[in-house]
Structure formats: C-alpha cells, structure tokens
Amino acid sequence: MAGKANLRYHVVLVTKYRKTALRGIEDAVYNAMRHAEAHSSVHIEEMGVEDGNHIHLVIRCKPTYSLAQIVNRLKAMSQHHIWEHQDKHLSRWYWGKRHKLWSGDYYAGTVGEVALDKVLDYVRKQHPKTDDTATSPS
C-alpha cells in the first residue's frame, strides 16, 4: 500500500524548570539538534532558541513514528549531545547524577501549506450535501 504524507509540526521544547540554561550555548544546541536529526527520521526545517529557556523547531517527518516518539528521540539525543559538549556550562543550572535539560512537556502544533478554510472549502465542494443533516461534527 502506497501513500503520500506531508507532516509538518511546530515543536517547542522547554528547559527543565524553565532555567535559562541555553543562553550562551545556542550554537551547541543547534549542533545537537542537527546531530539528532542526522540519526532520526525527521528533517528540521528551521529552529531558534528563545529567551535561553526554550527552542522552537519546525520539523517535517513521515508517519512511520508517532509525534511523541519523534519528540522524545530529539529530546534524548540532543540532551545527551549538549551535556557531552557543554557539561561545565549546564552544571551551573543542573546537578546530580541524572543529566537533565528538557522538561517532560512539549508543545506541538501542525503546520500546513494551505489555510484551514481553503481545505474545508475544497472538501465541502467534493460531495454536495443532500440535506441539512449532513453536516460534520464540530
């Protein structure tokens, strides 16, 4: 069975306790994300660290893995890579045996190439309603 998919997401990863641990090591964060990208089935189209405590990613992926699996892989691989190269910097914010960096939560929203109203209009025009009860649930 063949299919086409164009899945694009806006993902935001936040540092544990919202610490500004990314400030000053932005290049290392970008390198870590590129490293994770190279070892995953995801393409990072754009990224940017903001306020030193979170990173915005625009990612494109195939539906092979769930979004949660993809995000968890990006978080785990980037966290390991950043600690490997920036341990002295990160140890000012986080200590203990477990190397923390990312919060357990994340934000993800879909990103489309066309606006929702255009898609809805297109779908509505494919099969005209036969009566007023043939509406979609909201």
* Residue 4 to residue 73: CA distance in whole angstroms: 23
| pLDDT surpasses 80 at 129 | no
Q: What is the pLDDT of residue 138?
A: 52
Residues 46-104 pLDDT 10s: 999 999 999 999 999 999 999 999 999 999 999 999 999 999 999 999 998 889 999 99
- pTM here is 0.83
| pLDDT surpasses 90 at 117 | no
Q: What is the pLDDT of residue 128?
A: 60
Please, what are the domains in the chain?
7-126 (3.30.70.1290)
* Residue 89 to residue 74: CA distance in whole angstroms: 21
* Structure letter (DSSP) for residue 79: H
Element (H, E) at 103: strand 102-110
By residue count, the chain amounts to 138
| pLDDT surpasses 90 at 17 | yes
Q: What is the pLDDT of residue 137?
A: 54
Q: What is the pLDDT of residue 36?
A: 98
Neighbour-count burial for 49-77, b at 16+ CB within 10 Å, e otherwise: beebbbbebebebeeeeebeebbebbbeb
* Residue 14 to residue 130: CA distance in whole angstroms: 49
Say if CB 46 and CB 58 are below 8 A apart: yes
* Residue 80 to residue 87: CA distance in whole angstroms: 10
When pLDDT is averaged across residues 27-31 and rounded to a whole number, the result is 98
pLDDT band at 6 (very low <50, low <70, confident <90, very high): confident
How much is the mean pLDDT over the chain? 90
Say if CB 53 and CB 15 are below 8 A apart: yes
Longest dimension (CA), the chain: 68
The residue ranking higher by pLDDT, 66 or 129, is 66
